[in-house]
Amino acid sequence: MIVYKECMVVFAVLFEVETDEEGFRANVWRLNPIYVPQYAYPLADRKLWTVSCQWKTVRLLEDRINCMPFGWTFWPEDRVVSQIEHKFMKEGRKSAHLALRHSANL
């Protein structure tokens, strides 16, 4: 499980990950939403989509992976995901979203 952020923040699973010399591509399966801004409500029910990025544009930022041209970010590290999941389960979505903003400090 990862935490995925693009136009909304969700718990998700990456599957069918493909890599080659140019970059990678993966399917994203949405689990629970953490934060959905009002403009993204039409996308909130979407359960599956695809992400990709060329190696030259993917970035590792402290505790997350980001693809700048497409604007998505995901947190794959268990220490971050488990902390956000704990906040989500015990304190709710808002608390989990706030904790994610400070994920590098978890």
* Domain map (residue ranges) of the chain: 2-75
Give Cβ neighbours of residue 83 (< 8 Å, ≥ 6 apart): 99, 103, 106
- pLDDT range class, residue 105, cuts 50, 70, 90: low
CA distance 86 to 58: 28
Give Cβ neighbours of residue 2 (< 8 Å, ≥ 6 apart): 11, 12, 13, 14, 74, 75, 76, 81
3-state secondary structure of 57: helix
pLDDT exceeds cutoff 70 at 70: yes
Instruction: Kindly state the DSSP code that residue 62 receives in the 8-state scheme.
Output: T
**Residue 53: predicted pLDDT:** 95
